Every structure is written in structure tokens, then in C-alpha cells.
């Protein structure tokens, strides 16, 4: 399975509308392809992950391209600290298994990652 995401840019502000396309070439019947907006923490300690929104395409053709639209939430903001960071991403997944395409994003009031430490 090959899935490609095209979202045009990587820096976003809360409340903006993320528009993109997802395309795929499938072998077999996945049942559905899903685009997910999620965040995860990275670094020391327990890793947290949350899927915030989903756009689902049921009974997809073996090869197709579909537009999607996601309203970005007010938070949490993308940040980087000494011990932990919060990273947003959009990924496309076939129902039959496996993460197939992923693009990292930054969401904050400035559009840039918030640094909690000096470099």
C-alpha cells in the first residue's frame, strides 16, 4: 500500500483550515482509508498520543486521490522543551493495517514551534 499526503505547508495557526489531498495505490481491499490529525509527546517519560480528528473514505477504489479538510484545534501548541516536545502530524492509514503516509506540522499562534529553552 502506498499513500501520499499533500498539505501545502507545515506551519499553521490554531483555527485555520488545513486542506490537502490523499492519494493511494492499494493491493487488496482495505475497507477504508483514514486521514488522521494527531499529536504526540516525544522525549523523557511516558509518551502521550491523541488523535484529534479523522476523515474517512469508505470502500475506496484500489487507486484514487481525494481532497480532505480539517479545522485545526485551538491547542495544544507545538513546543520543544529540554525534556519533552509536542509534535503534530497528519497521517493516512489503510484500515487493513499499517501507517502509510505521515507529514509533521507545527501549530501555534505564531506558526512556529514554541521553544521552552534556549538553544
Structural domains of the chain, ranges and CATH numbers in brackets: 2-115 (2.60.40.640)
pLDDT of residue 1: 45
Contact 109, 65 (CB under 8 A): no
Our separate counts of H helices and E strands in the chain read 0, 10
92 vs 98, residue with greater confidence: 92
Q: What is the DSSP letter of 95?
A: T
Per-residue buried b or exposed e for 9-35, using 16+ beta carbons within 10 Å of the residue's own CB: eeebeeeeebebebbbebeeebeebbb
The confidence score (pLDDT) of residue 119 equals 59
Q: What is the pLDDT of residue 27?
A: 74
| pLDDT score, position 87 | 96
pLDDT of 16-75, one tens digit each? 999 888 888 877 776 888 999 999 999 988 899 999 999 999 988 888 889 999 999 999
Amino acid at each position: 500500500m502506498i499513500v501520499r499526503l499533500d498539505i501545502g505547508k507545515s506551519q499553521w495557526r490554531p483555527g485555520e483550515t488545513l486542506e490537502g489531498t490523499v492519494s493511494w495505490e492499494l493491493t487488496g481491499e482495505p475497507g477504508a482509508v483514514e486521514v488522521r490529525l494527531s499529536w504526540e509527546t516525544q522525549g523523557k517519560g511516558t509518551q502521550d498520543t491523541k488523535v484529534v480528528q479523522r476523515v474517512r473514505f469508505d470502500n475506496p477504489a484500489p487507486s484514487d486521490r481525494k481532497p480532505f479538510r480539517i479545522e485545526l484545534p485551538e491547542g495544544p501548541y507545538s513546543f520543544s522543551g529540554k525534556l519533552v516536545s509536542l509534535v503534530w502530524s497528519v497521517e493516512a492509514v489503510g484500515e487493513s493495517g499499517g501507517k502509510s503516509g505521515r507529514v509533521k506540522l507545527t501549530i501555534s499562534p505564531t506558526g512556529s514551534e514554541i521553544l521552552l529553552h534556549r538553544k
